[in-house]
Amino acid sequence: MTENEKILKQQDEYSEMLRDILFMRAGNKQPVGYVRTYGCQQNVADSERIKGMLEKMGCSLTENAEEADIIIFNTCAVREHAEDRVFGNVGALKALKKKKPSLLIGLCGCMMEQKHIADRIYNSFPYVGLVFGTHAIHRFPELVYNAVTSGKRLIERGTDDGAVYEGIPIHRDGSFKGWLPIMYGCDNFCTYCIVPYVRGRERSRCPEAVLEEAGSMVQAGFKDITLLGQNVNSYGKGLDEETNFAALLRRVSEIDGDFWLRFMTSHPKDCSRELIDLMAESPKICNHLHLPFQSGSSNILKRMNRRYTREKYLEIAEYAKKKIPDLSITSDVIVGFPGETEEEFQETLSLIREVEFTSLFTFIYSPRVGTPAAKMEDPNSHEVKAARMAELLKTQETIAAKRCAGMVGKTYRVLVEEQAREGVLNARTQNNIVVEIKEPAELIGTFQNVEITEARNWILRGKLSEGKN
């Protein structure tokens, strides 16, 4: 047995011991766990593991914090706004703890890997009993055990041991759309970004573990699987086996079954032509490329330490669009990076017009303690940044509306995902465009063919069409 297997086996033993302890703490009934997730899909995937471990401890899971005996907030540190939401929502838990003194409140995730934040939480919220960072997640049962048996408050930030822990139990939130982490951490150190500091060094799961998990998801009926990593294109570094992301993606796509395969995030500096060629040739790999550009100015990109130029980005985007005619490119963009000039901002707008993104995740720059950009001069006022953001959104809306109008009358295969509102369902095309259909909820989780009947700005409506789906 390896050292890591031993650690996980110990965790099972803690979970076993916790079954009785938590049962009694809950007043001789099955204890209830509640997990709230902030941030990116990486955190969603981590929360699915925390939920899996809670179940191992004998807990049922709830969506209602008021019913819970254990509350866990899995936090995000990427922007100040994300952190403020956590602080606000933790404040609101005070009343619940007062009503139920045995309630265990735990905070984990990226925010907790920053010492100043973990300390602030510990000092400002005395009813928080457990604080742990991203490097300690696999020891969650042990931490809960220590917190409830010692009766003391516990802070465990963990250390980045560079290891990948396989075999943690998972409770998946969905039954047909799921996330599959293929790597953890990030080594890129973009100058604005906190992720490398809170998630540690980049490490890849071995291909066998990924293939096994993907296979079991397909077996369980998953129809839409997204491979996750901060920079999936650098997958494989440091593994014994010589491999890369395109090779892994190909192997996953060769699993038998009718499912769609997605991946995110791609870093433009590492996005290979081999990967794009594979997307073009494989019917299971969705024609959707999430390729964050962050800024259209090579000067800003340099100061962001992104290690590509505007020209290089446009070259990849053009190659991909040519190879894959119905490709959707989506992206992340930051407005108001320290010292961004009007001219540099206009370069961002012109890049948006040139690439014609399907959709954009747009962010106003938020300084993060400990990152190089937080020390850069930033003469622009918030008003200037907000005005630039408004202009950017308008530019993107025009592009999205044009694309949507061009889809009317065509038929697409979609996966029906969720109820949008009474009588209306949201369905998604393989290239990541949402279509509303008026159909009963029974269709959720199935593939259908839909003809687009109407485009209102960037909202599409459609109806089921005949034929094989």
Closest to ligand F3S by CB, 88 or 379: 88
Give the residue with the Cβ less far from ligand SAH, 61 or 82. 82
Whole-angstrom distance, CA of residue 134 vs CA of residue 161:
11
The one of ligand F3S, ligand SAH, ligand SF4, none whose footprint includes residue 79, by CB under 5 to 8 A per kind, is ligand SAH
Pick the closest to residue 73 from 46, 95, 105 (CA basis): 105
By a kind-dependent CB cut-off of 5 to 8 A, residue 196 interacts, out of ligand SF4, ligand SAH, ligand F3S, none, with ligand SF4
| Binding-site string for ligand SF4 from residue 242 to residue 281, where x marks contact by CB under 6 A and - marks none | -------------------------x--------------
Residue 366 or 469 having the CB closest to ligand SAH: 366
Q: Are 368 and 192 in contact (CB under 8 A)?
A: yes
Nearer to ligand F3S, 177 or 368 (CB): 368
Q: Which of 112, 190, 248, 355 binds ligand SF4 (CB under 6 A)?
A: 190
The answer to whether residue 193 forms part of the interface with ligand SAH (CB under 6 A) is yes
DSSP letters spanning 315-345: HHHHHHHHHSTT-EEEEEEEE--TT--HHHH
Q: Considering only CA atoms, which of 35, 16, 18 is closest in space to residue 26?
A: 18
Residue 455 to residue 462: CA distance in whole angstroms = 9
Residues 256-315 that bind ligand SAH (CB under 6 A): 265, 267, 292, 294
β 359-364/328-335 pair status? parallel
344 vs 231: CA distance, rounded Å? 25
Nearer to ligand SAH, 370 or 406 (CB): 370
Task: Pick from 35, 144, 195, 289 the residue near ligand SF4 by CB under 6 A.
Answer: 195
* Phi, psi of 230, deg, nearest 5: -65, -30
**Out of 49, 51, 56, 79, which residue is the one contacting ligand SAH (CB under 6 A)?**
79
Q: How far is CA 179 from CA 41, 163, 183, 189, 224, in A?
A: 7, 20, 12, 24, 9
Please select the residue that binds ligand SF4; options are 80, 126, 189, 424, rule is CB under 6 A: 189
Count of residues that interact with ligand F3S, criterion CB under 6 A: 12
Q: Where are the alpha helices (DSSP H) in 26-77?
A: 41-56
Q: Could you say which of ligand SAH, ligand F3S, ligand SF4, none residue 43 binds, taking C-beta under 5 to 8 angstroms by partner kind?
A: ligand F3S
The residues that bridge with 35 in the sheet, in sequence order, are: 72
* Contact positions vs ligand SF4 (CB under 6 A): 186, 188-190, 193, 195-196, 230-231, 267
